[in-house]
């Protein structure tokens, strides 16, 4: 039975910047570079106390009591982007870009127009509702300074013909009548899509050089923001990636910043999407060298590096190979002809754990720099001479050290203290491996036992779902807590909680990921979730499979609803938050990436609305009125169909809320907890309403 004490323990496990105390101390080291990376400092917060540490890797020293004040940047305008030499800053004014040097200001562009302006990406991912809550007119301009501080790489975004959608705010914070906001937001299969034209702006002369090529298809995020467009180290060229709309062809291009002339360096075409990283919002795993290109490809079934001639585009050879996945290029030592990178799939007991590796550019001399079974999260120094390494697992607290590229420890930094976390009644999660529904494929997840666990008791189960296929539900590292919808707080309430990465999610082979291609409704494979629940319960009789619920946000909101509709024999209750419930009316970039650019049959299959009459279990729908990522009409459209089918359900529309409910999360979270407690435990939850969590600058830094 869930008690007030359990609720209080659950709230403690919410790892938010505004939380009253730190439960884990020293688990995250964020280096602040000094002297070009020769030294760095970092802070460790312990409740209200904060200590600063200075590290000199060359000397092998770590000094506490450091005063970072002389090294803190001067307060600046958060809406400006400053040049590397610190002399000029660029900001966005309306639809144009402006430069400032001291008191002197001048326009870099003058022809920006509504829905055809500079310095921003597609409106569908502009986070305007969130920016309004922070009191900001928009995010900082999207651009990249040339390393020599003379030019700016930017783009002009054209959404003049993209579908217009509307959001209505019933009670604006400023008062007055309801307000309507128009948003450019393309749906899957739409004829007109967001396009961007790359431009190079000379800060001194004021010249504007436009890329002499077709505009880039950019349905979601700016290519500069995602690292798909970047400067050569000597500022002599701009390199950028382009994709066909079906995403079957990926091309690396070179732009001459003086003339705008564009040439193709190399291109790859495949039967499904060809991508520079399985994680679509992470940096491309591509590195342009002096005369060569390191290129990420999954052509042999796994994600590996290939070497191409920069000038001719000829394939020079495969650099890495094996049944594992390159995750990130860390550093290329061209003089030594060695590339350092992280890879997953080299740890037998957990194929998601990351290992730091090195190999010669000719493919010889493969070495595991971190030769252990832990997961390694790495930050490379500014001077590329060493890296900060945080090693952990889901049940092993992080140990952070500085290593050189041979793997030798130069300085030990932090061993995370989880004493207070354990004092809440928390116990480490269990990493498990079970068979997928096909009976053959290994799938992985984590299981959290309830607070005050007693193996003689029987506990309800909650599946915290996020089906990808653009991200993992379970990270292989130690990361207690979450944003209020996560596993550990639910376990504190008295549930057995699981999280699973089924077939169709990323982080494994190309075939494992492609299981969801054209079948987005099955991404993460709910069949695999059901199979996992049954296998886990066979050896854990305290898991009561007659009381199973689901909880998910966004894509997880879709999957939660889908679980109730397609597996009613397994899932008795579900709380679906901010869910997209019909692919035909959702973000074209996301849907087309995984269901294809022209696949209306697949879009229809990915509709919860069309099968809403199958609902049998208990349902809570939650959505923000001003959600500009997944529009509230998804939940309202689903509700209309449920009403037409005479189905019982609960619904909460949160006035003014955006996609993540940041300023109403305490309320929303508690409503979800209460719903699951009532539905699966059969008891009335305690009368407990935590104070709202304030939105402040520290929260903004955590999000972006």
Q: Does domain 4-22+420-703 have CATH number 3.90.1150.10?
A: no
What distance in Å separates the CA atoms of residue 156 and residue 143, rounded to the nearest whole number?
11
pLDDT at residue 699, rounded to an integer: 54
What is the maximum alpha-carbon separation in the chain? 77
pLDDT at 693: 63
Q: What tokens were used for 97?
A: 């870009």
Q: What is the pLDDT of residue 483?
A: 47
Task: Give the full edge-to-edge strand order of the sheet including 89-93.
Answer: 80-82, 89-93, 96-101, 104-107
Return the domain boundaries, the chain: 4-22+420-703
Q: What are the tens digits of pLDDT across the range 595-609?
A: 988 899 999 999 999
pLDDT tens figures, 313-329: 999 999 999 999 999 99
* pLDDT tier for residue 696 given thresholds of 50, 70 and 90: low
- Rounded to whole angstroms, how far apart are CA atoms 107 and 101? 12
Rounded to whole angstroms, the Cα distance separating 523 from 513 reads 9
Q: How much is the pLDDT for 442?
A: 98
Element (H, E) at 642: helix 633-644
Lookup result for tokens 């070179």: 254
pLDDT tens per residue across span 295-314: 999 999 999 999 999 999 99
- pLDDT: which is higher, 135 or 192: 192
pLDDT tens digits, one per residue of 620-676 = 999 999 999 999 999 999 999 999 999 999 999 999 999 999 889 889 999 999 999
Q: What is the mean pLDDT of residues 418-438?
A: 93
CA-to-CA dists, residue 246 to 225, 522, 589, angstroms: 21, 20, 10
Question: Are 463 and 571 contacting, i.e. CB atoms less than 8 angstroms apart?
Answer: yes
The CA distance from 130 to 221, in Å, is 16
**Backbone Cα Rg of the chain:** 25
Q: Which residues sit opposite 44 in a β-bridge?
A: 51
Output the CA torsion sign for 629, 631, 634, 635.
positive
Mean pLDDT, range 523-541, rounded to an integer: 96
Q: What is the mean pLDDT of residues 145-174?
A: 96
Cβ atoms within 10 Å of 226's Cβ, excluding its own: 20
Mean pLDDT along residues 514-534 = 93
- The lowest-confidence range among 189-193, 377-381, 518-522 is 518-522
Q: Is the pLDDT of residue 583 over 60?
A: yes
Q: Choose among 610, 485, 670, 463: nearest CA to 548.
A: 463
Look at residues 518, 438, 503 and name the one whose alpha carbon lies nearest to residue 473.
503
Instruction: Give DSSP secondary structure letters for 488-538.
Output: HHHHHHT-EEEEEE-TT-SSS-HHHHHTTTT-GGGTT-HHHHHHHHHHHHH
Q: How confident is the model at residue 17 (pLDDT cuts 50, 70, 90)?
A: very low
- d(CA 569, CA 587) in angstroms, rounded, equals 31
Q: Which contiguous run of DSSP H or E holds residue 131?
A: helix 128-133
The residues near 537 (Cβ < 8 Å, ≥ 6 apart) are: 543, 545
Q: Any idea what the Cα angle at residue 600 is, between residues 594 and 601, rounded to 5°?
A: 90
Rounded CA separation 88/145 (Å): 10
pLDDT level of residue 274 (50, 70, 90 thresholds): very high
């Amino acid at each position: 039975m869930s008690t007030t004490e359990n609720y209080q323990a659950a709230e403690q496990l919410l790892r938010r910047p505004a939380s009253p105390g730190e439960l884990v101390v020293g688990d995250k080291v964020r280096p602040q570079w000094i002297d070009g990376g020769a030294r760095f400092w970092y802070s460790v917060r312990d409740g209200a106390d904060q200590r600063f540490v200075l590290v000199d890797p060359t000397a092998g020293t770590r000094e506490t009591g450091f005063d970072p004040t002389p090294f803190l940047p001067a307060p600046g305008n958060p809406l400006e982007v400053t040049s590397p030499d610190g002399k000029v800053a660029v900001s966005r004014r309306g639809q144009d870009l402006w430069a400032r040097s001291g008191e002197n200001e001048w326009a870099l562009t003058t022809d920006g127009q509504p829905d055809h302006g500079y310095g921003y990406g597609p409106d569908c991912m502009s986070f305007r509702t969130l920016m309004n809550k922070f009191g900001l007119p928009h995010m900082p301009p999207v651009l990249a300074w040339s390393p020599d501080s003379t030019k700016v790489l930017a783009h002009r975004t054209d959404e003049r013909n993209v579908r217009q959608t509307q959001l209505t705010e019933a009670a604006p914070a400023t008062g007055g009548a309801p307000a309507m906001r128009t948003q450019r937001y393309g749906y899957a299969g739409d004829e007109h899509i967001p396009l961007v034209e790359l431009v190079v702006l000379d800060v001194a002369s004021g010249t504007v050089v436009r890329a002499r090529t077709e505009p880039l298809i950019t349905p979601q995020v700016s290519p500069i923001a995602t690292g798909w467009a970047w400067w050569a180290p000597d500022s002599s060229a701009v390199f950028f990636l382009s994709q066909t709309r079906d995403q079957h062809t990926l091309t690396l291009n070179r732009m001459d910043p003086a003339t705008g002339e564009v040439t193709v360096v190399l291109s790859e075409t495949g039967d499904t999407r060809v991508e520079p990283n399985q994680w679509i919002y992470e940096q491309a795993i591509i590195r342009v060298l002096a005369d060569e290109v390191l290129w990420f490809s999954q052509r042999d079934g796994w994600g590996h590096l290939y070497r191409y001639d920069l000038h001719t585009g000829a394939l020079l050879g495969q650099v890495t190979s094996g049944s594992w996945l390159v995750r990130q290029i860390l550093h290329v030592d061209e003089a030594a002809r060695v590339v350092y990178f992280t890879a997953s799939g080299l740890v037998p007991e957990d194929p998601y754990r990351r290992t730091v590796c090195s190999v010669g550019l000719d493919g010889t001399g493969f070495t595991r720099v971190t030769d252990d079974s832990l997961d390694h999260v790495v930050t490379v120094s500014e001077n590329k001479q060493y890296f900060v390494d945080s090693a952990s697992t889901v049940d092993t607290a992080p140990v952070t050290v500085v290593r050189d590229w041979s793997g030798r420890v130069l300085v030990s930094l932090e061993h995370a203290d989880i004493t207070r976390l354990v004092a809440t009644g928390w116990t480490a999660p269990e990493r498990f491996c079970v068979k997928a529904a096909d009976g053959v494929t290994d799938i992985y997840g984590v299981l959290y036992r309830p607070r005050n666990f007693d193996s003689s008791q029987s506990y309800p189960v909650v599946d915290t779902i996020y089906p990808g296929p653009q991200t993992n539900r379970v990270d292989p590292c130690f990361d207690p807590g979450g944003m209020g919808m996560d596993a550990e707080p639910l376990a504190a309430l008295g549930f057995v909680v699981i999280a699973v990465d089924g077939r169709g999610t990323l982080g494994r082979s190309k075939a494992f990921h492609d299981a969801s291609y054209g079948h987005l409704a099955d991404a993460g494979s709910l069949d695999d979730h059901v199979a996992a629940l049954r296998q886990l319960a066979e050896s854990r009789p305290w898991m009561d499979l007659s009381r199973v619920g689901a909880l998910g946000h966004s894509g997880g909101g879709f999957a939660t609803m889908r679980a109730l509709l397609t597996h009613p024999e397994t899932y008795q209750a579900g709380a679906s938050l901010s869910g997209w419930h019909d692919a035909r009316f959702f973000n074209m970039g996301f849907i087309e990436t995984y269901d294809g650019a022209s696949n209306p049959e697949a879009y229809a299959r990915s509709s919860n609305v069309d099968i809403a009459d199958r609902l049998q279990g208990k349902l809570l729908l939650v959505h923000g009125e001003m959600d500009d990522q997944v529009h509230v009409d998804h939940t309202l459209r689903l509700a209309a169909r449920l009403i037409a089918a005479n189905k019982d359900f609960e619904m909460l529309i949160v006035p003014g809320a955006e996609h993540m409910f940041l300023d109403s999360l305490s309320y929303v979270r508690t409503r979800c907890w209460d719903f699951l407690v009532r539905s699966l435990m059969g008891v009335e939850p305690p009368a407990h309403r935590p104070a709202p969590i304030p939105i402040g600058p520290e929260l903004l830094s955590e999000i972006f």
